[in-house]
């Protein structure tokens, strides 16, 4: 089983103590987003969790204690560092601070286990194609020696985003090609492996791998894992990722990123954040009398025996 700790909210940045407590106690409870009274109990055991996947915009809160998890589980780390400032990502650390933390993480876990996420790529009057390429070049200069790859995708324009970001400009096919060509050229100059995720179009002409951010090949290359034969199902058009299980709740990330798909309402996210108890097995609040708790069916999908790192 692949455990995704950051698909619903940034557990590393805002809930690191809770995350550490759950691994110490050996289990976590997770509400079904569609049926909130249905709660799954996930056993945090190396025998059935093949990879723990982190995805965060700030690893500094967990770095001093990360070894508690990484010494017992195979771990892979997505680090999102974009070109945007506080006008779009209000409570995300600066580019400079993020790069510094990423370098510290790399020194701890090794570059092959880290993917730098430069996504979503979006356009506004301020964030133009030229600005993206200039910022990406400066960031790649510092990050390329310390990360195994870079993953990018184009913003997915959904109804809520039209309200949250009225200044957003649609990205047409020609602009996508220009961005892909520029990003690919810069990546080659820095010997940085570049790939897409959740993008239906292929840009292999520019040396960009058409793949996913959680695939059997990625985990094999980074962690030396051999998986049983399976199909990468994906969860949306263009997605080539393998199936994973998520922790936590949507509408609970205080970062306030205006393009976020996981927060329906940023004010509600802050109200939900106030319900957090680091000692609870649930990310938000506690079990209710109406909740039905069932153990999650957990099966290893690898042919590689788990080892200590």
Q: How many domains does the chain have?
A: 1
Q: What is the pLDDT of residues 217-267, one digit of tens each?
A: 999 999 999 998 766 555 555 567 888 999 989 999 999 999 998 888 889
Asked if the structure places residue 307 within a domain, the reply is: no
Asked if the structure places residue 134 within a domain, the reply is: yes
Asked if the structure places residue 258 within a domain, the reply is: yes
Asked if the structure places residue 302 within a domain, the reply is: no
Whether the Cβ atoms of residue 49 and residue 73 lie closer than 8 Å to each other: yes
Q: Is the pTM of this model over 0.75?
A: yes
Asked if the structure places residue 301 within a domain, the reply is: no
C-alpha angle 96-175-194 in degrees, rounded to nearest 5:
50
Torsion of Cα atoms, 53 then 198 then 225 then 22, to 10°: 20
Beta bridge partners of 57: none
Crossing angle for the helix pair 95-109 and 129-143, to the nearest 10 degrees? 40
Give SS3 for 195. strand
Asked if the structure places residue 116 within a domain, the reply is: yes
Full domain range(s) for residue 158? 2-295
* Measured distance CA(222)–CA(214) in Å, rounded: 11
Beta bridge partners of 295: 41
Q: What is the pLDDT of residues 49-93, one digit of tens each?
A: 999 999 999 999 999 999 999 999 999 999 999 999 999 999 999
Asked if the structure places residue 84 within a domain, the reply is: yes
Give SS3 for 219. helix
Asked if the structure places residue 238 within a domain, the reply is: yes
């Amino acid at each position: 089983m692949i455990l995704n700790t950051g698909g619903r909210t940034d557990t590393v940045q805002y809930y690191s103590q809770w995350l550490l407590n759950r691994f110490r106690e050996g289990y976590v409870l997770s509400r079904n987003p569609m049926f909130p009274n249905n709660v799954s109990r996930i056993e945090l055991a190396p025998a059935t969790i093949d990879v723990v996947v982190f995805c965060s915009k700030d690893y500094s809160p967990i770095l001093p204690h990360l070894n508690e998890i990484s010494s017992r589980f195979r771990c892979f780390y997505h680090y999102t560092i974009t070109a945007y400032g506080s006008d779009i990502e209000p409570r995300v650390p600066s580019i400079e601070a993020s790069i510094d933390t990423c370098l510290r993480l790399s020194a701890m876990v090794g570059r092959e286990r880290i993917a730098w996420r430069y996504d979503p790529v979006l356009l506004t009057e301020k964030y133009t194609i030229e600005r993206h390429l200039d910022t990406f070049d400066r960031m790649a200069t510092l990050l390329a020696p310390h990360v195994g790859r870079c993953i990018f995708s184009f913003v997915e324009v959904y109804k809520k985003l039209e309200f949250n970001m009225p200044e957003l400009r649609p990205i047409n096919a020609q602009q996508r090609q220009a961005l892909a060509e520029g990003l690919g050229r810069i990546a080659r100059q820095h010997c940085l492996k570049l790939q897409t995720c959740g993008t239906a179009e292929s840009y292999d002409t520019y040396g960009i791998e058409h793949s996913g951010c959680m695939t059997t090949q990625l985990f094999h290359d980074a962690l030396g894992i051999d998986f049983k034969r399976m199909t990468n199902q994906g969860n949306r058009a263009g997605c080539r990722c393998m199936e994973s299980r998520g922790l936590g709740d949507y509408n609970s990330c205080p970062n306030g990123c205006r393009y976020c798909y996981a927060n329906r309402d940023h004010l509600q996210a802050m109200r939900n954040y106030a319900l957090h108890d680091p000692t609870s097995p649930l990310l938000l609040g506690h079990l209710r009398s109406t909740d039905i708790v069932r153990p999650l069916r957990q099966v290893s999908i690898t042919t590689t025996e788990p080892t200590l790192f």
